[in-house]
Amino acid sequence: MLENQRTIKQEAGLKGVGLHTGVTVKMQFKPAPVGTGYVFERSDLEGSPQIKADIDHVSDITRGTTISQGDVKVHTVEHVLSALAGLGIDNCIVVLDNIEPPVIDGSSKPFVDALLEAGIEKQDAPKEYLEIDKTLIYHNEEQGIDLVVIPSDEFRITYMVDYRNPALGTQYTSMYSLEEEYVTEFAPARTFAFMSEVEQLKEAGLIKGGSIESSVVIVDREVDPGEFDRLKKMFKLEKLKSIGTTGILADKKLRFYNEPVRHKVVDLIGDFALLGIPIKGHVMAGRAGHAAHVEMVRKMRKIYQTRKLTKKFQTKASTQYVFDVQAIQKLLPHRYPFLLVDRILELQPGELVTGIKNVTMNEPFFQGHFPGHPIMPGVLVIEAMGQCGGVLLLNEATEPENQLVFFTGLDKVKFRRPVVPGDMLYFRVEMIYNRRGLCKMQGQAFVGEELAAQAEMQAVIRER
């Protein structure tokens, strides 16, 4: 059944202090038009600049997720984004009068409560999903991190953590229905940290707004009697009589027996909201965190961008290729006899493109190159390779149909074998770098398993 986008019915707000900065902040949720997504606005700065909360604006994931645009930043956005995504809200403007949302109790529940009080309404536009159709994997061998997303008709999460600590041990949880479980079973789960981490962070000038009321602190080392007074002062627990016996500082009662791993699910939902649209897929995570979440979002974002471009230019869906020649002509200005790419087989935005050119005796250049011994000119092999690179570059453009790719240089050009009628050229072009309007790509052309030509190509994008 087709679902519509959603926003909130009216404004809602709350206030508190930021977890890491310790600043006092007022936060306001505001309704937003269709297609807005999640936007943070800094009302304390001149002009009230806005930052779209998406993966392109993530600037730091050290102790939470920070987004920025230029000099404007917002720290620790994951709990707010988790509440919005957890409630199925697609469009909302979050106004802050300081640099970081309030931590409140360390969970996303206060934000959920405020949004529910504001009310949720459907909008006159369909909701878009990214349907995962093949397994995506992120693996970090050194840290023992695994994050996998597999095809599923619903958004599901299975999460496991193993901190090798008696107070935590190995914890596991699953969420099968965002709509039915998020508000009651996951949103109340609070952020947590090990006591040794908290000490280091406080000494580094971080978590200035953190307290025993806004987090679960896990005791992960023995405490000498002489340290007790220092720790009481550090954690603002002057009346505390002992560190506690449960492994949780001050024997603070958990909201769930596996509250830490449930909070990891809250964080994951918030970080995945940076994709810009909800997904249909089953996420399985082992010992992951913000860094792994963000890397997986980057993978999914590239798939989403490719599908958007394919939907825009490719009229007939195919599982065998991304663009046929009709779609290529919508992207590239080249026409007969200079359109030298027949299909784009694979497109990984910003990274890689592959394509093919079927070489036949009907090619006009064979009339003179060479009569009786037809060979495709090497410069045209490089040109065809460059046209594939043009598709890769134009994928990054806002309006690719209105822009051109101009090649500014070639390096390390080599021709390995002649290309003759009947050959099928397979091109593989990888991005080396792309910044400030300049890019460099590594291209290869194959006939079967044989390398026919290769080159490094520099290019720029300009308006038509």
> Which 3 state secondary structure label does DSSP give 23?
coil
pLDDT at 62: 81
400 cis-preceded (ω within 30 degrees of 0) = no
Active site residue 369: yes
Active site residue 75: no
pLDDT at 37: 97
At 299-323, the pLDDT tens digits run 999 899 888 888 878 777 677 888 9
pLDDT at 1: 54
Q: Where are the domains of the chain?
A: 4-189+259-307, 192-251, 314-463
E strand residue ranges, 9-119: 12-17, 24-31, 38-42, 50-52, 58-60, 66-69, 72-74, 92-96
- The correct CATH number of 314-463 out of 3.10.180.10, 3.60.21.10, 3.10.129.10, 3.40.50.920 is 3.10.129.10
pLDDT at 227: 66
The pTM for the full model equals 0.82
Which ranges of the chain have pLDDT less than 50?
A: none
At 193-209, the pLDDT tens digits run 887 777 676 666 666 77
For 319, the token pair is 């599982």
Query: How many CB atoms lie under 10 A from the CB of residue 77?
Result: 26
Measured CA to CA, the distance from residue 286 to residue 171 in angstroms comes to 10
Environment class of 147 (CB within 10 Å of its CB; exposed 0-12, middle 13-18, buried 19+): buried
Q: Which CA distances in Å does 47 have to 23, 94, 325?
A: 21, 15, 46
pLDDT at 403: 82
Say if CB 267 and CB 82 are below 8 A apart: yes
Count of alpha carbons within 13 angstroms of residue 157, beta-carbon side: 29
Considering the candidates 290, 293, 334, 373, report the single residue annotated as catalytic.
Answer: 290
pLDDT at 385: 96
Residue 404 β-bridge partners = 462
The fold adopted by the segment(s) 4-189+259-307 is: Ribosomal Protein S5; domain 2 (3.30.230)
